[in-house]
Amino acid sequence: MKKIGILGGMSSASTSEYYKIINKQVQEKLGGHNTPELIIYSVNFEVITDCVKNNNWEDAGQYLGEIAKALQHAGADAIALATNTLHKVRNHILKEIDVPFIDIIDSISSKIRSDEKNKISILGTYPTMTDSFYIDAYRENSIELLAPKESDKIEINRIIFEELTFNVIKESSKKFFLQVLEDSFDRGAEGVILGCTELKLILKQEDFKKLCFYDSLHLHCEEIVQLACST
């Protein structure tokens, strides 16, 4: 089994989900008492949130690049960045490592393409919903992203950083998300990307069956497990 380095802590709530899901999937895949060999580096999330709020991607990239290099030196055979938003600085990480990088955008895009869908709503942090990096990355995979209206994007970002990253789940916030999904469906969306690893905590497919859910955390974990169990 290959050792996987998880660059986590963004937030701790979602990183704990990565740990549980990867373990569960490996056990289901291999049986017995098999569990994955993981090296988790949980960063100081305050450093990252400051960088995101101040649009300081260079410092974020350097910080995460150094940590990715440390994971490789610790014996990781591949690296996964357990967050959507910070994939904007993936090139900083790629410059620092020689082992494979398990990309969350590739994991999501592969599933959407296999479902033969191309008009997809995106929910996530404000940068994930608006930055050209994400729009272009999905467009390269023939996927058109539909972002919510501006006021909804601001509220989604607030809920993620003020509630979900602290593992706080409010019914009022869930109702808000369901209305956003209804609006996306009315605009012609065929599916929705849960483009923030915390969104899994508040939204599930059974909550809104009009759109196909693409849970970024779950899809990323599937790719991680596939590589971890490869020979």
User: So which residues are the catalytic ones?
Assistant: 83, 196
- Say whether 36 sits in a helix, a strand or coil: coil
Q: Which residues pair with 144 in a beta bridge?
A: 119
Give the Cα separation of 195 and 14 in Å (integer).
12
Q: Alpha helices of the chain — where are they, by DSSP H?
A: 12-30, 45-53, 57-73, 90-96, 104-114, 126-130, 132-139, 150-162, 171-186, 216-228
Alpha carbon distance 141, 144 (integer Å)? 9
Burial of 74 (0-12, 13-18, 19+ CB in 10 A): exposed
Contact status, residue 99 vs residue 78, Cβ threshold 8 Å: yes
